[in-house]
């Protein structure tokens, strides 16, 4: 054999060896990778899957990290103070009697009503109920009202009158005066400078006196802590045309013009008298006597505006408008305004919504709700589906038949009508927004598990007849161990794909429910109820930043889950090109 010939099987010299370079997708190279590494390589080489993964990572960072970094709170309402002209007070010409009483409740409602009839008929006395009242004209349609008060009772026995009283001293002279009047059929008598009224007949009588009860007038006296004596003296002085009066141990002066008057204690104005009722529009509004007098003056002179200097020396302009017999006083005031529908700016990158809340912040917190609901529902669906699908696929026979018939029943349930009905029930019972989220997750999971059950059952039916299951039976493993340690792990790749694809659908379902008002409720935010706040065409067309960002986030998040799901499906496919 020639020395140049090579022996069969002889190793080739090292210097003659050439290093063969293998491509990344070379079949020999792929075969040395583990199944998990092979799936990962296929997944990461899928460009759409990478785009979806990047989108999902961005959404999670936006929703969970963004809320911590953002300086605003989820439900923070932004307000600002602005000067606006608004209704301040109202003035109405008074046409009804107002009453000042000696003691509270001294003039019953019946006596007040009957006063009008007595005045119209020109009567000085009138009867209301069982009591008799007398009125005295104080001028300017003001009346001093007195009423009867029982001071003694009289019984007639054996032709004699017996008087009993706790407030009168019963003397022979008093008895004689009463006897004379009663026998003559008179209804009153004079005694000791007092006029007494007799009521009753036959054997039982009542002796009463007229006592001052109060004053009724169409003039209104407005001031702080004014006594009855003050009100009576002021009305009397106005009726008599005086410019001063005494009350409560003080002397007051008045500046009178027609039916209007300002009452002064020295240089301080303490009350205003007029035939106009002036009330603040808002509860708690304090209108000074000076301002009331100026309003009344402006009404009398037909002014449409006037300027008044307040206690701090600031000039305040008031506008006066009339509608029938009512006047409205308007003025410019600093008012707290909610900053609704602000355009995007450096302070609010996506503006504010109709509640005055920062839209970007609501989108961050809304993403948390939407993503958490999606993952929780998928986890619950998977747990139910794996358990029932595993039992149906492994045992078969009647167990499989029962579980599959239950699955068929759930497939026949009209999902959206059920969701709308449940949402209405929660509204009627006023379920809290936080508890409502839990209920919604449970309901979506209960309605969504049948598809996973069918998937797991189908896979286990094909796996249970293979050799490795025969080996598990031979080794004496328990049924639960065979199902959940050997069968179910072989279904996990398909489950991952199914769950990933389902996440996008659940987010869409939650968003639709919230948009319809049966999902996540205020004050919690979700991408769906952010869009639902755009309730009319005007807002939709003029404030695009209130709904387009939320719709865009729903779109790209669902696309992201779909891209990842497609990538996982292709990566787990054993027929995928190496």
Q: Kindly report the CATH number assigned to the domain that includes residue 454.
A: 1.10.3720.10
Examine the domain organization and report whether 233 and 320 are in the same domain.
yes
CA-only gyration radius of the chain, Å? 47
46 in a structural domain = yes
Listed residues 159, 182, 217: the one ending a domain = 217
Q: How many CB atoms lie within 10 A of CB 224?
A: 9
Identify whether 61 is part of a domain.
yes
Distances in Å between the alpha carbon of 214 and those of 111, 228, 234? 11, 8, 13
Beta bridge partners, 257, equal: 260
Angle made by CA atoms 88, 93, 99, in degrees to the nearest 5? 105
Q: Which of 153, 109, 103 is nearest to 133 (CA)?
A: 109
Assess if residue 143 is contained within a domain. Answer: yes
- How far is the C-alpha of 428 from the C-alpha of 149, rounded, in Å? 58
Shared domain for 376 and 232, answered yes or no, is: no
Say whether both 271 and 168 belong to one domain: no
**Interstrand relation of 204-217 and 268-274 (parallel, antiparallel or unpaired):** unpaired
| 352 domain-assigned | yes
d(CA 552, CA 545): 11
> Counting beta carbons within 10 angstroms of the beta carbon of residue 63, is it exposed (0 to 12), middle (13 to 18) or buried (19 or more)?
buried
Q: What is the rounded distance in angstroms from the CA atom of residue 448 to the CA atom of residue 381?
A: 6
| Domain match, 243 and 209 both | no
Provide the pLDDT for residue 275. Answer: 82
Q: Which residues contact 87 (CB under 8 A, 6 or more apart)?
A: 281, 328, 329, 330
Residue 197 domain-assigned (yes or no): yes
| 3-class state of residue 10 by DSSP | coil
- Percent helix, strand and coil across the chain, each to the nearest 5: 50, 25, 30
Position 475 scores a pLDDT of 74
Compute φ and ψ for 124, nearest 5 degrees: -100, -15
Residues spanned by the domain of 130: 99-217
Domain-terminating residue out of 217, 241, 274: 217
Does residue 577 belong to any structural domain of this protein? Answer: no
Would 93 be classed as within a structural domain? no
71 and 58 in a single domain? The answer is yes
Q: Which H helix or E strand runs over 419?
A: helix 415-428
pLDDT recorded at residue 24: 53
Spell out the per-residue pLDDT of the chain, length 578, in tens. Answer: 444 444 444 455 545 545 556 565 555 554 555 667 877 888 888 899 999 999 999 999 999 999 889 999 988 999 887 777 888 888 888 888 888 888 888 888 888 888 888 888 888 888 887 777 888 888 888 888 888 777 888 888 877 888 888 777 888 888 888 888 888 888 788 888 788 878 777 778 888 887 888 998 988 887 778 898 999 999 898 888 888 999 988 899 988 877 778 888 888 888 888 888 888 887 777 777 678 778 878 887 888 888 888 777 788 888 888 887 788 988 887 778 889 999 999 999 999 998 899 999 999 999 999 999 999 999 999 999 989 998 888 888 899 999 999 999 999 989 889 989 988 888 888 888 889 999 999 999 999 999 999 988 888 888 777 777 777 777 777 777 777 777 877 788 888 888 888 888 898 898 888 888 888 888 889 898 898 877 778 888 889 999 999 999 999 999 999 999 888 888 877 555 44
Asked if 178 and 234 sit in the same domain, the reply is no
State the total domains in the chain: 3
Domain identity same for 327 and 389: no
| Confidence at residue 29, expressed as pLDDT on a 0 to 100 scale | 53
Are 163 and 181 found together in one domain?
yes
CB neighbour class for 148 (10 Å; exposed up to 12, middle 13-18, buried from 19): buried
Note whether 142 and 216 are within 8 A (CB). yes
Which residues make Cβ contacts (< 8 Å) with residue 532, sequence separation at least 6? 514, 515, 516, 517
pLDDT at residue 63 in the model: 93
Residue 1, CA distances (Å) to 8, 439, 565 in order: 12, 90, 65
How far does the chain reach from its first CA to its final CA, in angstroms? 46
Quick one: pLDDT at residue 181? 85
Task: Specify whether 180 is located in the same domain as 168.
Answer: yes
Rounded CA-CA distance 494/500 in Å is 10
Task: For residues 100 and 262, give the distance between their C-alpha atoms in angstroms, rounded to a whole number.
Answer: 19
Q: What angle do CA 550, 522, 358 make, to 5 degrees?
A: 50
CB 450 within 8 A of CB 502: no
Using DSSP's 3-state secondary structure scheme, residue 74 falls into: coil
CB 525 within 8 Å of CB 366: yes
Q: DSSP state, 352?
A: B
pLDDT at 325: 77
Question: Which one, of 157, 195, 165, lies nearest residue 177 by Cα?
Answer: 195
Residue ranges of the alpha helices (H) in 72-147? Answer: 109-121
Clarify whether residues 310 and 381 are in a common domain: no
Q: Is residue 160 domain-shared with residue 170, that is, in the same domain? A: yes
Considering the domain architecture, whether residues 132 and 193 belong to the same structural domain is answered as: yes
Which of 217, 233, 255 is the C-terminal boundary of a domain?
217
Give a yes or no: residue 205 inside a domain. Answer: yes
């Amino acid at each position: 054999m020639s020395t140049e010939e090579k022996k069969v099987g002889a190793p080739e010299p090292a210097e003659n060896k050439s290093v063969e370079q293998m491509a990344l997708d070379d079949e020999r190279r792929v075969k040395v990778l583990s199944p998990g590494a092979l799936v990962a390589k296929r997944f990461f080489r899928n460009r759409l899957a990478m785009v979806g993964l990047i989108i999902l990572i961005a959404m999670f960072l936006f929703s969970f990290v963004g809320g911590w970094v953002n300086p605003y709170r989820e439900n923070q309402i932004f307000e600002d103070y602005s000067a606006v002209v608004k209704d301040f007070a109202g003035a109405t010409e008074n046409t009804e009697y107002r009453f000042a009483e000696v003691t509270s409740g001294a003039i019953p409602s019946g006596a007040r009503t009957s006063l009008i009839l007595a005045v119209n008929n020109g009567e000085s006395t009138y009867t209301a109920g069982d009591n008799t009242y007398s009125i005295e004209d104080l001028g300017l349609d003001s009346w001093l009202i007195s009423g009867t008060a029982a001071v003694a009772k009289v019984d007639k026995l054996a032709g004699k009158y017996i008087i009993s009283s706790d407030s009168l001293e019963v003397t022979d002279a008093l008895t004689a005066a009463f006897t004379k009047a009663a026998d003559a059929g008179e209804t009153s008598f004079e005694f000791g400078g007092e006029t007494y009224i007799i009521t009753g007949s036959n054997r039982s009588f009542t002796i009463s006196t007229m006592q001052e009860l109060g004053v009724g007038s169409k003039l209104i006296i407005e001031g702080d802590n004014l006594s009855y004596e003050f009100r009576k003296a002021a009305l009397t002085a106005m009726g008599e045309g005086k410019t001063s009066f005494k009350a409560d141990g003080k002397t007051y002066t008045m500046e009178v013009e027609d039916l209007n008057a300002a009452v002064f204690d020295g240089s301080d104005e303490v009350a205003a008298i007029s035939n106009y009722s002036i009330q603040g529009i808002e509860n708690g509004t304090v209108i000074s006597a000076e301002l009331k007098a100026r309003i009344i003056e402006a009404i009398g002179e037909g002014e449409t505006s006037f300027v008044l200097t307040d206690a701090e020396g600031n000039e305040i302009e008031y506008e006066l408008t009339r509608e029938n017999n009512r006047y409205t006083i308007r003025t410019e005031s600093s008012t707290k305004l909610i900053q609704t529908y602000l355009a995007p700016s450096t302070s609010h990158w996506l503006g504010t919504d109709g509640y005055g809340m920062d839209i970007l912040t609501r989108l961050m917190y809304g993403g948390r709700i939407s993503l958490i609901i999606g993952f929780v529902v998928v986890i619950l669906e998977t747990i139910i589906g794996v358990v029932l699908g595993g039992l149906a696929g492994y045992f078969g026979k009647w167990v499989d038949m029962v579980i599959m018939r239950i699955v068929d029943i759930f497939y026949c349930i009209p999902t959206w009508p059920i969701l709308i009905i449940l949402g209405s029930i929660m509204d009627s019972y006023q379920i809290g927004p936080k508890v409502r989220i839990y209920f919604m997750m449970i309901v979506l999971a209960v309605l969504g598990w049948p598809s996973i059950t069918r998937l797991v059952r189908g896979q286990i039916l094909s796996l249970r007849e293979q050799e490795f299951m025969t080996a598990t039976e031979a080794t004496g493993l328990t049924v639960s161990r065979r199902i959940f340690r050997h069968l179910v792990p072989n279904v996990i790749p398909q489950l991952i794909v199914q769950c990933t694809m389902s996440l996008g659908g659940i987010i869409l379902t939650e968003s639709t429910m919230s948009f319809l008002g049966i999902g996540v409720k205020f004050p919690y935010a979700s991408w769906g109820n952010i869009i639902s706040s755009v309730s009319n065409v005007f807002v939709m067309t003029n404030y695009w930043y209130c709904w387009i960002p939320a719709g865009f986030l729903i779109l790209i998040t669902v696309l992201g889950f779909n891209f990842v799901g497609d990538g996982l499906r292709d990566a787990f496919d054993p027929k995928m090109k190496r």
